[in-house]
Chains A and B, each alone.
Chain A
Amino acid sequence: MKVAVCIKRVPDMEMRFSISGDGKSLDQGGLKYEMGDFDGYALEVGLQLVEKHGGEVVVLSVGPDGVQETLRKGLAMGAARAVQLKVEETPFDGLAIARGLAAELRDGGYDLILFGRMATDTANGTVGPMTAELLDLPCVTSISELEIADGRGTARRELEGSAETMKFALPAVLTIDEGIARPRLASLKGIMAAKKKPLEVKPAQLGEARLVVESMTLPPDRPPGRIVGEGADAVPELLRLLQTEAKVL
């Protein structure tokens, strides 16, 4: 089984962000980067499938040279090889990224192409299903459970207040939600091995981006709250405030 996992390098979301002077990007000072949360789950799913069915996992990422660090992490976790689709700046437009990935994946002979359900930075969740359409492959998004057997798959996805089970034929494109399989930590041996694994750099063919950033702003801080009181005796006052001041009860 040949599995592609498309991963993205995103800022560590625990950081405090500030906007740079151009008003349309994050101030890079002090930013740390990591693999997108959901991408880690997608990679874990790919690695487990290959452990069970045989084959290899290839990790791909669109972006500037910084993504090589993220790809190396994927290799350290167990991917066999990596491909960087090089651009100077990763666009916001999901369709542009999907075009670049589809061009690379089209003749790759992959049984499965996996994505995280969305990148935590742009929070679009569009690249996976768009890539599927460009490749004319079946697609299931936001998967919380997955089984693959005999060239077919069964997946569960969560909806608002319910869930649905989907069946699909391989090859297919899947996007993976959290909770399906906790991403493994790279072992020291894995990290050493990753240094020798192939990482290919290719120019990306993204075409024109038609969803572009005009500006970025930080949402207004919440006004400082107050401690109503201590212990259960503060409950009547809290209730009064919720009814008469906040008017939410």
Chain B
Amino acid sequence: MAPVLAFAESRNGELRKVALETVAAARQVADALGGEVHAMLFGAPGVAGQAEALGRYGADLVIVIEHPALERYSPEVLAATLTHRIQSAEYRAAFFAASAEGRDLAPRVAAKLGVSLASDVTGFELQGDAVIVRHPAFTGKVVVTLRLIGTPALLSLRPGAITPAENPRTARVETAAPAMDPAAARVTVTETSARGSAKLDLGEATIVVSGGRGLRAAENFKLVEDLAAAIGNAAVGATRAVTDDGWRPATDQIGQTGRLVSPDLYIAVGISGAVQHLAGMRTAKTIVAINKDKDAPIFKIADYGIVGDLFEVVPRLTEEIRKVRKEH
């Protein structure tokens, strides 16, 4: 039976959440085919310790490639090694995450193999020789169903699209060497900066509090940050108008040209709701809008709205949430 491959993304020697998602996705396909799941794990010596967790989520075999140079991401080494492995067996499919690393890596592997890649998919289904996938496109305004033809089928999964369930087994561990000499790589990561590493990433946060022009000045973002801090597990985002003005770093931008987020709760503070912004957050489960203009477009998509002066509403909300948090 054809095995299915999962690229198990790690950073600083630890698995990322998306690694479990790719293993869980591969498990689904493998179960349908009666095949095995092989996970590939790269890193500095010691990363093999993460193999057991991959077994817990459904990997039958973990192929570990340890090398001191793999402490940091090495796109050419990973692409060559993954390609070599996929060519060595009759893999039916290979899963990546549509994360920053997976988006960089998967197309390289696909092109080396000469196969097409379905990227950023939110759903998939085997259908004979093809895989049918769902992919949000046109800034999330259109859902495209695509037919991916050929074997192996390469897919990258939108982070969070799959909730990995435990499916434990004792994974066999096999070690392998990089398929190219890391010293020969033409692209090397020379520095990794953990920008505000204490801060929660926008894409991974279950709650996002976001601010727009209504805040009037960069320093007033403190209101948004205080609210996020009171909630506890919230990340802070911003509109394009705000990042363009330099009130917040460009990396905080949520929207068509920034980050696309789907948190459980999205609180829009002083955001009018330009199409460009809505494209980045319209898939949030629950949307709250606080804006003084009752006709602002954000209220059309918000589940709950408060019309009012954010400088009064937000501090009150922060205070009430602090109270609730204390009670629990």
A residues apposed to B, CB below 8 Å: 11, 13-14, 17, 19, 26, 37-38, 92-96, 98, 120-134, 138-142, 144, 154, 157-169, 172, 178-179, 209-219, 222-232, 234-236, 238-239, 241-243, 246, 248-249
Contacts and interface: CB of A to CB of B under 8 A. Distances in A.
A140 B187 contact: yes
Contact of A216 (B114, B143, B321): B143
A96 B315 CA distance: 53
- Provide the main secondary structure of the chain B interface: mixed
A225 B302 contact: yes
A173 B208 CA distance: 34
A129 B111 contact: yes
B285 A248 contact: yes
8 contacts: A120-B256, A130-B110, A142-B104, A217-B143, A219-B283, A226-B303, A227-B299, A230-B306
Interface residues of B, number: 99
A133 B112 contact: yes
Nearest to A215: B145
Contacts of A142: 100, 103-104
A168 B76 CA distance: 11
B73 A228 contact: no
Contacts of A160: 99-100, 201, 203-204
A218 B282 contact: no
B137 A122 contact: yes
A126 B106 CA distance: 8
- Provide the main secondary structure of the chain A interface: mixed
Interface of B: 11, 72-73, 75-76, 79, 99-101, 103-104, 106-108, 110-112, 114-120, 132, 135-150, 186-197, 199-201, 203-204, 207, 231, 243, 250-251, 253, 256-258, 264-265, 275-276, 279, 282-283, 285-289, 294, 299-309, 312-313, 315-317, 320-321, 324
A229 B288 CA distance: 12
Given A167-B187, A246-B285, 20 more contacts: A17-B142, A95-B114, A120-B138, A123-B136, A125-B107, A138-B187, A141-B104, A160-B203, A162-B193, A168-B188, A211-B118, A222-B287, A225-B305, A226-B303, A234-B306, A234-B308, A235-B320, A239-B321, A241-B304, A248-B285
